């Protein structure tokens, strides 16, 4: 073990030594708090501290889709105005008219676009690490797919708090898009923007919107321990941290330096946690391939339309892996796919491998009921539809069984269609 590795291990062990007592104080403080209810807290599994990035993106997308009786996207306009005033004047060149707001399309967390501009929002609510040239690839996708000039593409890096993107993530666009790139955070931007600029301006009759905003802003306050009920607990936790780190109240500059250094160490630890979580998720795929081979063995003689199992091992650049069961029905080839990208599991029906790009309208009818039953949304020419298996609803152990539900339904539909021929 070299000197740097030994130092990192010592830093990790030191931080790890602090955690048991810290969490003891935290749990004790929470147990003493008065009654408080937040529906988001209650509806997502208690095994997770925070909502997933996808859940945050869904909420933000729904808010940005709000329209007034006269057709104005008031919250989106308010957001663009906030970015213009607080981050970069370049956002003032955006004119909101008839935006299309999409989630998880081409792996982009949230995208707002019209014919003459696009805003890419990369959500890092839970400190997910940056993939290799991730934002460069997203910019290329929007430019090529929607024919929007690079000079009209804006990028927002939405972090949990003060996490900054890796230097490499913008790739070739680092200097080019600089004025149209903004790093914002849930704590310093989204929470005060919604609390101070959006919520006070909601019409009295829009009670459901007002309620949703109150619940979400309260949830964000809880995520950062900023509720009034957290004050006593926060004081106890901070006193414990000062004691453990040797912070002297009489030396504020030294205290800030210690905290900054320890926070940097924590970020390195969290980054490794995420990388390890990705590695563990991808490690499931070889075993799932064996299970799929066994599960479909009995079908092969009865349904000759199953032609192949495609397994793509770990892609270390994109942190991805995939498994697909390929079918041929007439002249059309398609696949039922399970894949993991950037720690997220997805499943769907893909026509990338075959000829259905040119026959999509004609042949889509045979999968329409499947798409509806499983909530699979059409994305682009490579897909009939796919869905993200949200961590708030599915554990890793649920992923393969859910995929097999789609496989079995597809086999059933293919068999029915074949019997009718």
Structural contact between residues 297 and 309, judged by C-beta atoms closer than 8 angstroms: no
Contact partners, residue 129, CB within 8 Å, separation at least 6: 166, 271, 274, 275
User: In the predicted model, is pLDDT for residue 201 greater than 60?
Assistant: yes
Structural contact between residues 268 and 8, judged by C-beta atoms closer than 8 angstroms: yes
Distance CA 195, CA 211 (A): 12
φ/ψ region of 120 (left if φ > 0, alpha if ψ in -120 to 50, else beta) reads beta
Name the DSSP letter for residue 204.
T
Q: Residue 34: is it exposed, middle or buried by C-beta count within 10 angstroms (0-12/13-18/19+)?
A: exposed
Provide the whole-model pTM: 0.80
Coil, strand or helix at 46 = coil
Coil, strand or helix at 226 = coil
pLDDT digits (tens, 9 = 90+) for 280-294: 999 999 999 999 999
pLDDT band of 4, cuts 50, 70, 90: low
User: In the predicted model, is pLDDT for residue 395 greater than 90?
Assistant: no
pLDDT digits (tens, 9 = 90+) for 145-187: 999 999 999 999 999 987 888 889 999 999 899 889 999 999 9
Name the DSSP letter for residue 262.
H
User: In the predicted model, is pLDDT for residue 352 greater than 80?
Assistant: no
306-315 and 181-185 strand pairing: unpaired
Supply the DSSP string of 386-400, one letter for each residue: EEE--TTT--HHHHH
In percent, the amount of the chain with pLDDT more than 90 equals 52
Map out the domains of the chain as residue ranges. 53-223, 284-420
Higher-confidence position of 4 and 260: 260
pLDDT band of 356, cuts 50, 70, 90: very low
pLDDT band of 355, cuts 50, 70, 90: very low
pLDDT band of 391, cuts 50, 70, 90: low
Output the six-digit token pair for 232: 């006593």
């Amino acid at each position: 073990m070299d000197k740097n590795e030994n130092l990192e291990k010592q830093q990790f062990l030191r931080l790890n030594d602090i955690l048991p007592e810290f969490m003891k104080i935290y749990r004790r403080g929470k147990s003493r708090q008065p009654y408080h209810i937040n529906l988001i807290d209650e509806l997502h599994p208690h095994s997770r501290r925070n909502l997933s990035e996808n859940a945050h993106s869904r909420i933000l997308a729904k808010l940005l889709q709000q329209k007034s009786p006269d057709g104005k996207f008031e919250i989106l306009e308010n957001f663009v105005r906030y970015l213009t005033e607080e981050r970069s004047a370049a956002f003032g060149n955006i004119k909101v008219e008839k935006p299309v707001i999409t989630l998880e399309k081409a792996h982009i967390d949230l995208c707002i676009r019209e014919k003459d501009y696009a805003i890419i929002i990369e959500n890092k609510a839970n400190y997910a690490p940056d993939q290799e040239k991730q934002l460069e690839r997203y910019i290329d996708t929007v430019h090529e797919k929607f024919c929007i000039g690079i000079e009209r593409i804006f990028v927002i890096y939405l972090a949990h708090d003060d996490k900054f993107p890796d230097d490499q993530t913008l790739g070739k666009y680092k200097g080019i898009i600089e004025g149209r790139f903004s790093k914002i955070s849930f704590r310093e931007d989204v929470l005060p923007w919604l609390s101070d600029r959006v919520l006070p301006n909601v019409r009295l009759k829009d009670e459901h919107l007002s309620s949703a905003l109150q619940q979400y802003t309260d949830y964000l306050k809880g995520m950062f321990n900023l509720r009034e009920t957290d004050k006593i607990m926060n004081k106890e936790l901070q006193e414990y941290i000062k004691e453990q780190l040797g912070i002297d109240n009489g030396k504020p500059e030294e205290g800030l330096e210690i905290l900054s250094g320890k926070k940097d160490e924590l970020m390195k630890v969290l980054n490794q946690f995420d990388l390890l979580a990705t590695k563990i998720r991808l490690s499931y795929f070889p075993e799932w391939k064996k299970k799929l081979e066994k599960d479909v063995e009995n079908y092969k003689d009865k349904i000759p339309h199953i032609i192949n199992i495609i397994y793509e091992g770990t892609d270390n650049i994109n942190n991805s892996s995939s498994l697909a069961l390929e079918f041929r029905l007439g002249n059309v080839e398609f696949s039922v796919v399970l894949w993991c990208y950037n720690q997220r599991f997805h499943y769907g029906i893909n026509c990338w491998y075959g000829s259905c790009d040119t026959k999509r309208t004609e042949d889509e009818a045979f999968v329409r009921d499947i798409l509806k039953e499983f909530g699979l949304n059409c994305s682009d020419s490579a897909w009939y539809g796919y869905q993200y298996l949200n961590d708030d609803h599915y554990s890793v152990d649920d992923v393969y069984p859910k995929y097999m539900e789609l496989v079995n339904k597809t086999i059933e539909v293919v068999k029915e269609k074949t019997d009718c021929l």
